[in-house]
Amino acid sequence: MGKALLLTALALQAVAPPPKFDSGRAWEHLRQLVAIGPRPAGSPAIEQTRKYIKDQLAAAGLTATEQAWDDQTPVDKVHMVNLIATIPGSRKERIVIAGHYDTKLFREFRFVGASDGASSAAFLLELARALKGRRNPMTIELLFLDGEEARMPDWHGTDNTYGSRHYVEAARHDGSLAALKAFVLIDMIGDRDLDIRRDANSTPWLTNLIWDAAKQKDLDGYFLADTTRVEDDHLPFLAAGVPSVDIIDLDYEQWHTAKDTLDAVSARSLQVVGDVVLAALPQIEAHLTKGIVLTGRRLRSPRPYVVTKVNRRAKRRLVHSSATYRAAH
């Protein structure tokens, strides 16, 4: 029975034509999101953003489910909403592909987050269209996360990753965490000069499959062999034992400045990441399906996850072999 399920999954991948990512569509989504303006959690603008996301998912034939809650931050109590779009597969076990859609709250300048906030949401919307018509061996869940950004000026303690932490706790509570087999996080992928480094916190086998796909697509000039260590929305999933990877370009001088605008991002960068993720997806599904069949139990990361400390004035820490870089929050 188990062997038959694996063969069925592989057959689905072999017969169905591969989906194609359209960066032109993704760029239009990014442009529309940036046009809304600053979109911090709890603002009228993020409610407008949610409406746009739900409308676009509906146009692709998908229904967005709202996961709403009120969270106490160091500044105030904020109403937050994760959006979830599910694409059914042959199995109930699921892969979650996620990104945040909120922007950092700045009062001293206008921050529209073209790469940091808009690029990930735009990417997920186009991915939804591409995957909707695909015959998926596993269920795919597209997760638009609220509250990734800290409310205070600095990234510190639990003043960050509100949406991802809430999602994991809700999944623990309703028992759906066991069916979550892998988590792929997309963040800040719009940079015109795209440089994505391997994250040392991420699960090695999952990272390897994505970087191997980039090499096979001759896109390894964008997916670099250098290693960084990143704190982001994948941490709560790693802490829960879910294999996770963060695809992020933090080598971006416009990060958390008024210059994170359309001029700093490109459709080409969205296309690169779209092509790599779609190329890696069948390999990820085959790896997970084989594991489910062989073990009959939930896969776990091959190494224990350890949270690293970051400087209080940094949102995420980048660690390279030659130096340590910190981006001021």
Per-residue model confidence (pLDDT) at position 327: 35
**What average pLDDT score do residues 151-170 get?**
96
DSSP letter, residue 96 = E
- 20 vs 11 pLDDT, higher one: 20
Please give the pLDDT value at position 16: 63
Model pLDDT for residues 237-246, shown as the tens digit of each residue: 999 999 999 9
Q: Please indicate whether residue 18 or residue 238 has the higher confidence score (pLDDT).
A: 238
Query: What is the reported pTM?
Result: 0.87
Of residues 133 and 315, more confidence is placed in 133
Q: Are 182 and 95 in contact (CB under 8 A)?
A: yes
- What is the pLDDT averaged over residues 187-214? 98
* Percent residues over pLDDT 70 in the chain: 84
256 dihedral zone (left: phi>0; alpha: psi -120 to 50; beta) = left
| pLDDT value at residue 8 | 55
Q: pLDDT at residue 10 above 90?
A: no
CATH of 2-328, one of 3.60.9.10, 3.40.630.10, 3.40.50.300, 1.10.1040.10: 3.40.630.10
Contact 302, 244 (CB under 8 A): no
Is pLDDT of 174 > 50?
yes
Q: Coil, strand or helix: which one is 7?
A: helix
Q: What is the pLDDT of residue 291?
A: 76
Q: Which residue has the higher pLDDT, 12 or 159?
A: 159
Q: What is the 3-state secondary structure (H, E, C) of 17-82?
A: CCCCCCHHHHHHHHHHHHHHCCCCCCCHHHHHHHHHHHHHHHHCCCCEEEEEEEEECCCCEEEEEE
Q: Stretch 269-295: mean pLDDT, rounded?
A: 91
What's the mean pLDDT in 173-190? 98
- Using pLDDT thresholds of 50, 70 and 90, give the confidence band for residue 18: confident
Q: Give the pLDDT mean for 282-310.
A: 63
- Domain locations along the chain: 2-328
User: Which pLDDT value is given to residue 159?
Assistant: 96
Residue 17: its pLDDT value, please?
77
Strands 244-248 and 138-145: unpaired
Residue 12 confidence (pLDDT) = 53
What are the Cα distances from residue 179, in Å, to 8, 96, 174, 207, 241? Answer: 19, 10, 11, 20, 12
Mean pLDDT (the chain, rounded): 89
Q: What integer is the mean pLDDT of 12-35?
A: 87
- Per-residue model confidence as pLDDT tens digits over 34-90: 999 999 999 999 999 999 999 999 999 999 999 999 999 999 999 999 999 999 999
Helix runs in the chain, H state only: 2-15, 23-36, 44-59, 119-132, 162-174, 204-216, 235-239, 267-295
Tokens of 78: 């904020």
Predicted local confidence at residue 285, as pLDDT: 97
Sheet containing 77-87: which strands, arranged edge to edge?
64-72, 77-87, 138-145, 91-100, 180-187, 244-248
| Predicted pLDDT at 137 | 95
Neighbours of 174 (CB within 10 A): 8
The pLDDT of residue 303 is above 50: no
Q: How many helices (H) and strands (E) in the chain?
A: 8, 10
Instruction: Compute the Cα dihedral for 35, 48, 79, 25 and give only its sign.
Output: negative
Q: Is the pLDDT of residue 9 over 70?
A: no
Residue closest to 211 by CA, chosen among 195, 224, 230? 224
pLDDT on residue 107: 94
